[in-house]
Structure 1
Amino acid sequence: MYSTTTGLQNLTREFGTSRPLFEDDKTIFYRKPACSPDTSFVVRMDWAGLKSLPGVVPIGMPGGILLAKDGRAIDETEVPNIEWKRYQQRLAASGTDPSPTQPAATALPVPDYFTNIFYDYYPVVGISYEQAVAFCSWRGRVISKMVNRGKPGSTDSLAADHMLVECRLPTEAEWQQAALAKRDLPHGTRCPEVAVEVNPEAAGYLKQRSGSPVFEPLIRADIRAYNRTRPTRSPISCDQPGPYFLRLVTPAYVYSGLPNDYQLLNLLGNVAEMVQERGYALGGSYRDPLTACTVTSRSAYIGPSPTVGFRCMTRATYPNRR
């Protein structure tokens, strides 16, 4: 029961035997692509060289996957609602008023998107650029405090063993690196569409996710009929043709789809993602067609939106070591 963004133990017991939800990751199954993989830019996840770089910590921080040999890591997923709620809980526990962090009610895809536990592991949206920056900054501070706790002398910011964890929005260049833009393929892969199978037992879950008025038994029958056609579909959460029960009225589960070669999820589609460069977000969203969910897609961003979220970059260093 720990936060995936800070590694801190949760302040409340959020998950018990009474949690009445179908498991998100047992809803839709995407098969491994059968097409030949791209070889123009091979991702090598060998970070042994980090140990030879002065001051760099050769490990990722909570929620992050190492992206570069200077220790920069990017979040595996977009920051979900549950982690934003934990952020608010931590602020309240420290005596800070969390109300300025509340997502804008008018910028949510459905009214209960932030409050309903059904959407806990869906990306947080309806927040401003400033709120996202503040979250990243807070996250770096609390991780730094945690990793330095109990280490002799490390709480002294000038000590050799003091570890500094910095957390921020990615730059556009970092985001495009993570999305494999260097391959010069619109979706970072030659396989933007794969075989898919939908779990009939997820009929109730998909009814709520799609906002469908159809009764569960009929949805279940329609799912079985759909599976018999051996369908293919893009694993990118976007506006694409398909059956009514796969319609997206909100972003999707942050761990859905297929990971890219960095093992990162939903860089394309789901929600467009903020970067340090203000005024736009990258990657397209669940409301955009597949053609607008590419490694070079940009959308204007001027304030809280139901289609825009974010993920953070983290980097841990020993700034006082030479």
Structure 2
Amino acid sequence: MSFSSARLILSSICLSTLGACAVGHTPSSSLPGSYSATTGLSTNGLPNWDPIPGLNDWDVIYFRQSANSCKDTFLLPPLSKWSDLRLGPGIVPLNNSGFGIDEAEISNLEWKFFQQQTTPDTGLNEAMQPLAAALPVPEYYADRFYHRYPVVGISWEQADAFCRWRSRVVTAEYNKLYSHADSLSQGYVRILYRLPTEAEWEIAAQGQSGLPYGSSCLNQPVQINPKAADYLKRRSGSQETSQQIRADIESYNRSQPSRVMINYAQKEPYFLRQTTPGYVWQGPPNAFGLYQALGNAAEMVQEQGITKGGSYLDPLEACTIKARGSYSGPAPHIGFRCASEVSYPNRK
């Protein structure tokens, strides 16, 4: 396998920010892309990675800027000052020393890639299988509809194993293809992935704002794509016909609605009801370039038993940056993202 030149971040921050690159859109369950978003490795020919018919996840909900929006809500983060940093695939920088964090929560599809790469046969690594009893709906992990939704139903130990595997493969491929350095050379680069500490997670989620939710503009004008009626029927579990859902979406849009951008347990029309966490790249990113840091899936951190950010099942107050959740095992609302450190271990 080889790295994608559009996903391994070497000199351009745009390349690290999947939601802001020239490809136009982030990966979706229908269009998963040709490379793993977390490792940069080619996925050509692998099961689950071919395009399939259906609406793209990013073509469902549109947040719109208005006169009342915070001026920086819809601006891309100013990352150019760190454009010469080496960063791992999928990572956005948090400082100028090679430390960063995933722009998105780890998705079901990226987790399946991990399982495929860590088994000696053509199947999936059973030791890393999410716990069926801890999935939000029975088909959540198996069905391609949810492939770009966050992996949940996993343990802290499994998430840690993913980080360690990701460190090995990204470090090895980078040194083989770019630095051409062995592990004893001064040019050897180590790319380490791990769960962020609680303090690191809070810095990343806050986006330098100092505000409880990272922004004072939580409520934004929203429009729902009427063509997403089938998609939303499936996501919400509604028994209404697609034709009725489309009509209700059009009526909703005419009311000039607004919605809190955080995926929490908010009161919404039936067709926006969430039975699972949602698309990992939904909504405008925060000032550091993170998507879905608050709400959606609560995120495990280095400190075991603690989650941050709240989830789609939680009230809004559980989604503040300082709020803590807890867990004792796999759960249907808990996922994770990785932090990353890049270093030259042989340089003094």
Q: Give the distance between the partners of 1:152 and 1:216, measured in 2 at CA.
A: 53
- Equivalent position amino acid for 1:21 in 2: G
SS at match of 1:179: helix
Relative distance call for 1:150 and 1:4 in structure 2 (3 A) is: closer
Q: Does 1:112 align with 2:145?
A: no
In the alignment, what sits opposite 2:149? 122
Q: Give the distance between the partners of 1:266 and 1:99, measured in 2 at CA.
A: 28
Q: Does 1:142 align with 2:169?
A: yes
In the alignment, what sits opposite 1:24? 57
Superposed displacement of residue 45, structure 1: 2.6
SS at match of 1:145: helix
Note if contact 2:233-2:239 (Cα within 8 Å) is conserved in structure 1: yes
Q: Give the distance between the partners of 2:309 and 2:180, measured in 1 at CA.
A: 43
In the alignment, what sits opposite 2:186? 160
Relative distance call for 1:224 and 1:38 in structure 2 (3 A) is: closer
In the alignment, what sits opposite 1:55? none
Relative distance call for 1:16 and 1:82 in structure 2 (3 A) is: closer
Note if contact 1:280-1:302 (Cα within 8 Å) is conserved in structure 2: no
Note if contact 2:86-2:98 (Cα within 8 Å) is conserved in structure 1: yes
In the alignment, what sits opposite 1:207? 233
| Deviation by residue 1:23-55 (Cα, 9 ceiling, x = unmatched) | 11110101135334479xxx753445x97xxxx
| Deviation by residue 1:203-238 (Cα, 9 ceiling, x = unmatched) | 000001111111100000000000000000011111
Q: Give the distance between the partners of 1:176 and 1:304, measured in 2 at CA.
A: 22
- Equivalent position amino acid for 1:62 in 2: P
Note if contact 1:181-1:295 (Cα within 8 Å) is conserved in structure 2: no
Could you tell me which runs of 5 or more consecutive residues in structure 2 were left unpaired when the two chains were aligned.
Answer: 1-33
| Deviation by residue 1:105-128 (Cα, 9 ceiling, x = unmatched) | 000000010000000000000000
SS at match of 2:118: helix
How many positions carry a matched residue from both structures? 310
Superposed displacement of residue 306, structure 1: 0.3
- Equivalent position amino acid for 1:88 in 2: Q
In the alignment, what sits opposite 1:236? 262
Superposed displacement of residue 167, structure 1: 0.6
TM-score w.r.t. length of structure 1: 0.91
Q: Give the distance between the partners of 2:179 and 2:267, measured in 1 at CA.
A: 59
Greater relative CO, 1 or 2 (CA 8 Å, sep 6+): 1
Relative distance call for 1:153 and 1:35 in structure 2 (3 A) is: closer
SS at match of 2:119: helix
In the alignment, what sits opposite 2:323? 297
Relative distance call for 1:313 and 1:159 in structure 2 (3 A) is: same
Match of 2:275 among 249, 254, 270: 249
Note if contact 2:207-2:288 (Cα within 8 Å) is conserved in structure 1: no
Superposed displacement of residue 92, structure 1: 1.8
TM-score w.r.t. length of structure 2: 0.84
Note if contact 1:237-1:257 (Cα within 8 Å) is conserved in structure 2: no
Match of 1:4 among 24, 28, 37: 37
| Deviation by residue 1:177-225 (Cα, 9 ceiling, x = unmatched) | 0111753322110101100000000000000111111110000000000
In the alignment, what sits opposite 2:96? 69
Q: Give the distance between the partners of 1:60 and 1:152, measured in 2 at CA.
A: 14
SS at match of 1:92: coil
In the alignment, what sits opposite 2:79? 45
Note if contact 1:238-1:269 (Cα within 8 Å) is conserved in structure 2: yes
- Equivalent position amino acid for 1:32 in 2: Q
Q: Give the distance between the partners of 1:238 and 1:158, measured in 2 at CA.
A: 48
Range that drifts further, 94-103 or 110-119: 94-103
Range that drifts further, 95-104 or 2-11: 95-104
Note if contact 1:257-1:266 (Cα within 8 Å) is conserved in structure 2: yes
In the alignment, what sits opposite 1:54? none
Could you tell me which runs of 5 or more consecutive residues in structure 1 were left unpaired when the two chains were aligned.
Answer: 52-57
Q: Does 1:102 align with 2:129?
A: yes
Relative distance call for 1:208 and 1:95 in structure 2 (3 A) is: closer
SS at match of 2:92: strand
